[in-house]
């Protein structure tokens, strides 16, 4: 469930009451919002990861080592152990700071006024929790980002949307670009 932290607190409680198992609270950095008087600056959305029992699939994702955008040098020294690290990058953490906002028209359907989710978020969620051929259910179709990612990642999908589905059709027909993603998904499930 991807939402504002304020709402995901209640959603998480509800999911616990249904007997689902909490796996992760993922914070997705989003700094494009305005400060709110008398509150901390809202700089993230939350993504709740719950499962019905023990998930059958959990795949490790490695993200590229962060580099300075000015000098292209590595940002961290990893305590002097950089040479011993996995060449594919670092294990994905529960704070995602590399998700680009979906503001530009090339990343969201023209017929959708509201923002869409970055394909990078859905690629990580789909790759982490499923394998090719699995079925993904998204009951909140929106602009069809989940469905397009499932098509590209060889997952079958079931979608539900109660409003206009034109944005979903646009995305599935390739009228919308994906964000770049250099993540590496390990083949072996944990």
To which H or E segment does residue 95 belong? strand 95-96
Residues of the chain with pLDDT > 90, as a percent, come to 46
* pTM, rounded to two decimals: 0.84
Using 50, 70 and 90 to split pLDDT, how confident is the model at 21? very high
Please, are residues 144 and 164 in contact by the beta-carbon 8 Å criterion? no
CATH superfamily of 56-189: Vaccinia Virus protein VP39 (3.40.50.150)
Query: 121-157: per-residue pLDDT in tens?
Result: 999 999 999 999 999 999 988 888 999 999 999 999 9
If one compares 19 and 37, the residue with the highest pLDDT of the two is: 19
Cβ neighbors of 105 (< 8 A, separation 6 or more) are none
Please, are residues 72 and 94 in contact by the beta-carbon 8 Å criterion? no
Q: Is the pLDDT of residue 114 over 80?
A: no
DSSP string, 30-41: ---SPP-TTS--
Average pLDDT, the chain: 87
**Range with top average pLDDT, 43-47, 113-117, 122-126, 175-179:** 122-126
State mean pLDDT over 103-119.
66
Measuring CA to CA, which residue among 94, 43, 98 is closest to residue 75? 98
Domain range list for the chain:
56-189
């Amino acid at each position: 469930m991807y939402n504002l932290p304020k709402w995901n607190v209640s959603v998480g409680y509800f999911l616990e009451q249904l007997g689902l198992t909490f796996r992760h609270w993922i914070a997705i950095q989003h700094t494009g919002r305005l400060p709110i008087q008398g509150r901390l600056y809202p700089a993230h959305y939350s993504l709740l990861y719950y499962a019905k029992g023990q998930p059958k699939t959990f795949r490790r994702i490695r993200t590229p080592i962060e580099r300075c955008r000015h000098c292209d040098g590595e940002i961290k020294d990893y305590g002097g152990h950089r040479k011993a690290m996995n060449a594919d990058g670092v294990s994905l953490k529960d704070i995602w700071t590399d998700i680009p906002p979906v503001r530009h028209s090339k990343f969201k359907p023209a017929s959708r006024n509201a923002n869409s989710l970055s394909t990078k978020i859905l690629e990580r969620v789909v790759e982490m929790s499923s394998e090719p051929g699995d079925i993904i259910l998204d009951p909140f179709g929106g602009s069809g980002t989940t469905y397009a990612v499932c098509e590209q990642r060889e997952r079958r999908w079931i979608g539900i949307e109660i409003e206009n589905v034109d944005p979903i059709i646009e995305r599935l027909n390739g009228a919308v670009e994906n964000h770049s993603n250099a993540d590496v998904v390990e083949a072996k499930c944990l």
